[in-house]
Each structure stands twice: as structure tokens, then as C-alpha cells.
A and B are shown apart, each in its own frame.
Chain A
Amino acid sequence: MNLYSLRIDDHDVAIAADSTVLQAAQEASIAIPTLCFLEGLSAVAACRMCLVEVSGNDTLLPACITPVQEGMQVHTATPRLQDIRRTLIELLFTEGNHVCGICVANGHCELQNLAVEVGMDHSRLPYRFPDRHVDLSHPLFGMDHNRCVLCTRCVRVCDEVEGAHVWDVGWRGEHCRIIAGLEEPWGAVEACTHCGKCVEVCPTGALFHRGDTTDEKHSDPARLQALMQARQQQRWNP
């Protein structure tokens, strides 16, 4: 196996050449905040939370899709990055309608946790108050577009893991949103297998179990990893 050596912050890391910077950081126990990234799904670098600085490169690079290179010097927590991450979270909060106090995911929300992690105690940016709707047409689940951060985990898990491809991304710019089927009510999309993986991986309260009330959604993305591992290794009993 071909190994590359690189330096991340103050740590020297040696890692397989086909790894990403995020994997290398994890190897060195350096935490880089992520949101759209989820172990077990393809990486799409949609959220930009994992941006890092690489010496000799003026461009900030998303760690989740950037391949490691020999001799690379990576900085994960510069003041510039910290400011960008906080701003990104503020943008996510102000772009949708996130009312934590009545949200199903309150207290168990990755967006909320990230806000704490990046030190966002409040937003410095004005709120947009977009007009969005809730889709409760599915018999088991609901989709509240007000709380969606367009991480596309649901799109990927449905396509890559369940193979149903119920979800996709429709429209552009500020109108961009997750759509079910061909922009149909979720409950009308026959491809849906009702497996609930999209709900399980959703980092916020956008996808939820119908009937959940405030604070009641407890997602566990680790279950996806257990499933993927079991499939790859054909070992179904932990």
C-alpha cells in the first residue's frame, strides 16, 4: 500500500495515498467540523464546513473530497477558517426558518451542535424568513422544508444505499429545494420503500417521523455505518 506523509496542524500523519484530507485528519484525531459528509455515503462537499487551508494554495479546500498528497501541510483551525465556519452556520440558520424551540430535533440536531462547536451563540446576519412548506403526505414521515439545509444526505442515502432514488434536488439558487419524485408529494412517490433511512441521516428536523413533537427526533447516523459495514463484510450479527 502506497503511503503519503503529510502534516496536519501540529501532527505528522502517514496514510494510504487514496485517502482524503478528512480521513487523514481523523487518523490523527483532529476534528474537522462536517455537516453534509456522512461516513457510508459519497462525499459531495456541499456544505463547506470542512474547508481547510493547504500551504502553498490560496484556495480553501473541502477536506472531505480533497485527496492527500505527499508533503502536504494542512491547517484546519486558523482564525480565517473559524470565522468562515461560523459564517457558514449563520448563513444556514438565516437562510431557512429554524425555530429550535418548537423543532422535533431540538437538542439532538447536528446544525445546533455545530453552532455550539463553531461558537455561534447568535447570528450576525439578518434572517430571510423564506416562505416554505411542510409535506406530510407520507404515511410515516414528514418533510419540513423550513428546516432543510440542502446537505443532500437524504438524496444520497436513498440513491446509494436504498437504491430507490426518491429524493433529488430541484430548482436553483434561493429556490433550490429537495424534491420527492418528479416534484410530487412524498406520499405519491411509489418508489419510496418507507425504509426511513433519509429520516435517520437527516442532520436537522427537516425529515422526521410523523407524530414527533418538540425534541423527540433522535437520529442515529451510526446505524447507517453499521449497515454499510455489514453489507461490505457480509457480517450481519454484530
Chain B
Amino acid sequence: MSQHLVIGYGNTLRGDDGVGWHIAAALEALALPQLDVTAVHQLTPELAARMANADQVVFVDAHHGTVRQPLALEPLQAGAPPPPFSHQLSPQALLQLSQQLYGRQPQAWQLLIPAQAWAYRHGLSAGATAAMDEAMALLLAWIRREAGHA
């Protein structure tokens, strides 16, 4: 049975930074069979063990640069070592870890959500809310297509 994993991450106390987390939490609440979902504050090495059991993974994160419109899954390759003082890894680094440590890595994409508001608050800006709507539709279509269920 093929395994699909969505990892959404971000800091929910920093406004739109948490949009990836919110998307994963919303997907998790849907409890779709065959979809493994995790909402985390940041990416840490043990996620590589979980990824090694998946065939496909999508990373969902906020992005403060220019984001491709409309939203789209962008293929990811393993690589990109972690930055010097960071307690978190990039999706690319996790893929590499998964490969190096467990001998396999899932096919991977990232879904970047445009975000503008980084204030210290709960909840999303209007722009991120609209983008989350689009992202949810896109992810649900993805899982329907890949795993053959809604």
C-alpha cells in the first residue's frame, strides 16, 4: 500500500508563519485513510524516519518571497545542508537524511503559501486565508489523484 505524507510546519504564534501548520492540522482533522499528516513547529531529524516509510511527501510552508501563482506543487530534490545555528532542517535536508540513514526517500514536493503578516498573533491574514483555501483544494486533489480517494 502506498503511503502519502503531508508535513505542514510553522510557528502558529507568528501569524501567517503558521499557515503550513494550519493546513496540516486541517488535513489531519479530515482523517483521510492512506494519508499520514503531521503539523509541526519546525522540521527536525526524526521526521526522516517517518518519511522513509512514505512513497510521496508534500511539505507545506509559508513563504515570504515571490510565490508561483497559482499555487503549485514544486518537485523537491534531496540536498541543502542545515543552516549553521538552526534547530531545524529544510525539506531538502530531510530527504537527504531519509536517503542516507534509511536507504530510501519518498518522491517529494513543496507547497509554498504566500504570507505577509508575521506579527505576534494567532491566526492568518486575509491573504493567507485565501491562499490556504486554494492550498487545501490543491492538496485534496493531489491525494485524490495519487491515492484514489477523497
Contacts and interface: CB of A to CB of B under 8 A. Distances in A.
A116 B29 contact: yes
Interface in B102-150: 121-126, 129-130, 132-133, 136
A97 B122 contact: yes
Best-buried of A101, A122, A127 by chain B (most CB within 10 Å): A122
Contacts of B27: 121
Contact of A99 (B26, B123, B125): B123
Query: Looking at chain A, what size class is its interface with the partner chain?
Result: 10 to 19
Contacts, number: 36
A55 interface: no
Contacts of A79: none
Contact of B29 (A121, A123, A125): A121
Interface in A92-139: 97, 99, 101, 116, 121-127, 129
B12 interface: yes
Interface in B3-38: 12, 22-23, 26-27, 29-30
Given A99-B123, A121-B26, A126 B12 contact: no
A126 B125 contact: yes
Contact of B129 (A97, A121, A124): A124
A129 B16 CA distance: 14
B124 A121 contact: no
Q: Do most interface residues of chain B lie in helix, strand or loop, or is the interface mixed?
A: helix
Nearest to B23: A122
Contacts of B122: 97, 99
B123 A101 contact: no
Contact of A121 (B30, B121, B125, B130): B30
B108 to A, nearest CB: 23
A122 B26 contact: yes
A110 to B, nearest CB: 16
A129 B133 contact: no
A101 B11 CA distance: 13
15 contacts: A97-B122, A97-B123, A101-B12, A121-B26, A122-B22, A122-B129, A122-B132, A122-B136, A123-B132, A124-B130, A126-B126, A126-B129, A127-B123, A127-B124, A127-B129
Given A123-B132, A127-B126, 4 more contacts: A99-B122, A121-B26, A127-B124, A127-B129
Interface of A: 97, 99, 101, 116, 121-127, 129
